[in-house]
């Protein structure tokens, strides 16, 4: 066997192995599920400012479904799910569903730089002292809760999701 042929075979074998060893996150068991919270505990209220300086108080959205996402710019699965959150928001916002993404511990400049690569239109709120995340049942990033119109925690997702998945969107819409 010639050396170039051997290297071509080796490259193809390595590529195949890499695909097996490092499958995409979605293929590694991350299904499109939201975990239902049967007891529906009350969501902790918060008042946080977004990048435009607008204040958002969770309790002011009573009567509407609210998706509350906790994230940071350095968190790989947070970055990965952002584009699908934007696509979901484009579908859900006209239906009156709210999406709030709460950044943990970072400043406005850092988040502005992030949005140059990940442009999103839903509000990005700042929890710089992490007081809000610490008052919610969150242990890792990203974590997302879906709050029902009565202000209760209805669903939870730990880790990223494809938020524009039709089955997932239907679960959110059914809370209205």
Partner 1 sequence: MHVITLLIGTLFIPTASAAGSATTGSDPETGLAFWRYEAEGILFELNQRLPDQTRAFFQARGFDTDTANQFATSCVFQSRLLNTAVAGGASLQFNLNEWRVISGNKSSSMATTDDWMPRWKKQSIGQAARIAFKWSLLPSEQTYAPGDYNWGMTSYDQPPGTRFNLTLVWHREGKRESATIRNIECPADSPQETP
**Residues in contact with partner 1 by the rule CB under 8 A:** 1, 6, 9-10, 13-14, 17-18, 21, 28-33, 35, 72, 74-77, 104-106, 128-130, 139-141, 156-159, 161
- For partner 1, the closer CB: 123 or 160: 160
User: Smallest distance from the beta carbon of 93 to partner 1, in angstroms?
Assistant: 25
In sequence order, the 6+-apart residues with CB closer than 8 A to the CB of 1 are none
In sequence order, the 6+-apart residues with CB closer than 8 A to the CB of 93 are 99, 122
Burial 97-126 (b: 16+ CB within 10 A, else e): bbbbbbbbebeeeebeebeeeeebebbbbb
- For partner 1, the closer CB: 87 or 156: 156
User: Smallest distance from the beta carbon of 63 to partner 1, in angstroms?
Assistant: 28
How far is C-alpha 115 from the chain's CA centre?
Answer: 14
User: Smallest distance from the beta carbon of 136 to partner 1, in angstroms?
Assistant: 13
User: Smallest distance from the beta carbon of 36 to partner 1, in angstroms?
Assistant: 9
- For partner 1, the closer CB: 82 or 104: 104
- The two tokens of residue 167 are 């089955």
- For partner 1, the closer CB: 106 or 164: 106
**β-pair partners for 153:** 147
- The two tokens of residue 22 are 């490092």
User: Smallest distance from the beta carbon of 61 to partner 1, in angstroms?
Assistant: 25
Scan for tokens 């696509």, then name that residue.
Answer: 87
- For partner 1, the closer CB: 92 or 138: 138
């Amino acid at each position: 066997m010639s050396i170039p042929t051997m290297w071509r075979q080796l490259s193809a074998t390595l590529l195949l192995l890499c695909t097996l060893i490092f499958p995409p996150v979605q293929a590694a068991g991350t299904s499109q599920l939201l975990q239902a919270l049967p007891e529906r505990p009350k969501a902790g209220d918060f008042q946080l400012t977004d990048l435009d300086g607008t204040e958002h108080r969770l309790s002011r959205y009573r009567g509407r479904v609210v998706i509350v996402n906790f994230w940071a710019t350095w968190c790989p699965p947070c970055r990965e799910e952002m584009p699908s959150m934007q696509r979901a928001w484009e579908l859900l916002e006209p239906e009156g569903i709210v999406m709030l993404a709460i950044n943990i511990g970072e400043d406005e400049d850092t988040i502005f730089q992030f949005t140059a690569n990940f442009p999103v239109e839903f509000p990005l709120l700042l929890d710089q002292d992490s007081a809000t995340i610490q008052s919610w049942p969150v242990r890792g990033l990203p974590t997302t809760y879906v709050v029902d119109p009565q202000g209760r925690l209805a669903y939870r997702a730990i880790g990223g999701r494809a938020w524009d998945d039709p089955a997932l969107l239907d679960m959110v819409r059914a809370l209205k």
